[in-house]
Amino acid sequence: MAPSDMAPSDMAPSDMAPGDMTPATARAATNGDAETVLEVQDLKKFFPVKRGLLSSTVGQVYAVDGVSFTIRRGETLGLVGESGCGKTTIGKLVMRLLEPTAGVVKILGTDITAVSGRGLRPYRREMQMVFQDPYSSLNPRMSAGAIVREPLKNYGLDGGSIGGEKQAEALFARVGLKREHMAKYPHEFSGGQRQRLGIARALALNPSLIVADEPVSALDVSVQAQVINLLMDLQVEYRLAFLFISHDLAVVEHISHRVAVMYLGKIVELTDKRTLFTTPLHPYTEALLAAVPVPDPEISRQRLILEGDVPSPINPPSGCRFHTRCPYAVERCRHEEPPLIEVQPGHAVACHLREVGAPPIKLEKRASATA
């Protein structure tokens, strides 16, 4: 069924704001109910580091090291973190553009980790991707209409030249492009229009999940807002699940219902948007939020500024991966890796200093910890 065939308002308004859900429902979402579109369990991806004439493996890049999360229908999970922390790799693993080293990816309840090649095709329909670079993600030698119609053709849904044309037209209209644009080539479009084209392509198969890998980071700020709002409208209309990968906290705060914070291939904190931005529990999240510029010079804040660089994912630190830069680190952090546990209902964090049920108080800096 093409999105154009779908009634745009087949859902009650009360379903539309998962961001306002109570912690109880947030917890329910992790238990794999019928509404769960994507479930990721202990996903791992290691890239071998090869060196020398015979390209022998000398080490591994722990790009993604044991990540679990779920996304429900109509929900956006924001995935934030510094560049190189494994966000994009997760997106590609979910899309199966990369083969996972270990772990389970379930689409609509079906484990697709063991499925490969031709068998993946029915599942690819359910998950589509919007790419970061609107320039290189569109084939320069295909017309805009052909680009949007290609997914339909792949699944025999094109319905001949007239039917395909109509479907493409509806998709173009839905993302705010004109009918005349169909005969044009990607280089004739602006960045924002190209990203709309990419979104139309992702919508063509009427998927359940859209993985958006930094979809607006290549766009001007004014255009960013338009594209983000378009994505949010489409989400409501088609009850899409989004895995929204970004390094831009402002964008993530705007679009997400829940947010996962990543550091060196691991999720360090996962909770609903409001809680994360008001009471972050992980020191890394705290530092990330402190780094967001505030457009008011009068406000002076006590900021947590991180020192040093992100350690290499080839040789990640022992214990808690963040302990080398954490101002609160204690001896235990160096040896023992903290698991991601739910300390408050619907609020999971991987930190030794946060215990289950403990109040979200501010942590004390330790001068000795950095020495």
Partner 1 sequence: MVATSTEFVIERPQGWLGRVLEFARRNPTVVIGTSILALMAAVAVFAPWLATDPLFINPIDRLKPPSKEFWFGTDHLGRDVYARTVFGTRISLTVGLAVATFSTAIGLAIGLVAGYIRIVDAIVMRIMDGLMAIPGILFAIALMALFGSSVQNVIIAITVPEVPRVVRLVRAVVLTIREQPFVEAAVASGTRLPRILVRHILPNIFAPLIVQATYVCASAVIVEALLSFLGAGTPPEVPSWGNMMADGRVYFQIKPWILLFPGICLALMVLTVNVLGDGLRDTLDPRIARRMG
Task: Name the segment binding partner 1 (CB under 8 A); options: 61-69, 81-89, 169-177, 198-206.
Answer: 198-206
* C-alpha closest to that of 9 among 220, 331, 266, 237: 237
CA distance linking residue 79 with residue 49, whole number of Å: 26
Q: Candidates 11-19, 40-48, 69-77, 133-141 — which segment interacts with partner 1 by CB under 8 A?
A: 133-141
Number of residues engaging partner 1 in binding (CB under 8 A): 31
Q: Any contact of residue 217 with partner 1 (CB under 8 A)?
A: no
Least spacing, CB of residue 147 vs partner 1, in Å: 8
Angle (deg, nearest 10), helices 144-154 and 191-203: 20
Instruction: Please select the residue that binds partner 1; options are 205, 255, 343, 351, rule is CB under 8 A.
Output: 205
Q: Does 337 bind partner 1 (CB under 8 A)?
A: no
Residue 301 lies near partner 1 (rule: CB under 8 A):
no
- Minimum CB separation of residue 67 from partner 1 in Å reads 20
157 binds partner 1 (CB under 8 A): no
Under the binding rule (CB under 8 A), the answer on residue 95 touching partner 1 is yes
Among 24, 34, 83, 141, binds partner 1 (CB under 8 A): 141
Residue from 6, 49, 58, 97 binding partner 1 (CB under 8 A) = 97
Distance CA 249, CA 184 (A): 34
**According to the 3-state scheme, what is the secondary structure of 187-220?**
HHCCHHHHHHHHHHHHHCCCCCEEEEECCCCCCC
- Cβ-based neighbour number of residue 40 at 10 Å: 23
Spell out the residues 6+ positions from residue 76 whose beta carbon is closer than 8 angstroms to its own: 235, 241, 242, 244, 255, 256, 257, 258
Q: Does the footprint of partner 1 cover residue 154 (CB under 8 A)?
A: yes
Which tokens belong to 136? 């290189």
115 binds partner 1 (CB under 8 A): no
Q: How far is the CB of 189 from partner 1 (least distance, A)?
A: 12
Is 187 one of the binding residues for partner 1 (CB under 8 A)?
A: yes
Segment interacting with partner 1 (CB under 8 A) among 20-28, 123-131, 273-281, 301-309? 123-131
**Hey, CA dihedral for 269, 62, 93, 85, is it positive or negative?**
positive
Min CB(57)–partner 1 separation in Å: 16
- Interface with partner 1 includes 342 (CB under 8 A)? no
Q: Is 132 in the site for partner 1 (CB under 8 A)?
A: yes
Residue 57 interacting with partner 1 (CB under 8 A): no
User: With binding defined as CB under 8 A, does residue 198 bind partner 1?
Assistant: yes
Report if residue 139 touches partner 1, rule: CB under 8 A: yes
Q: Is 234 exposed, middle or buried (0-12, 13-18, 19+ CB in 10 A)?
A: buried
- For the bound state, the minimum distance from the C-beta of residue 277 to partner 1, rounded and expressed in Å, comes to 31
Least distance to partner 1, CB of residue 203, Å: 11
Q: CB-wise, 198 or 327, nearer to partner 1?
A: 198
3-state DSSP call for residue 134? coil
Range 222-228 contact pairs with CB under 8 angstroms and sequence separation of 24 or more: 223/190, 223/191, 223/192, 223/195, 224/251, 226/176, 226/192, 227/192, 227/195, 227/196, 227/199, 228/254, 228/255
- 294 near partner 1, rule: CB under 8 A: no
| 124 is a contact residue toward partner 1 (CB under 8 A) | yes
Helix-, strand-, coil-residue percentages of the chain, each rounded to 5 = 35, 20, 45
Residues in touch with partner 1 (CB under 8 A) = 92, 95, 97, 121, 124-125, 127-129, 131-133, 136-142, 150-151, 154-155, 185, 187-188, 198, 201-202, 204-205
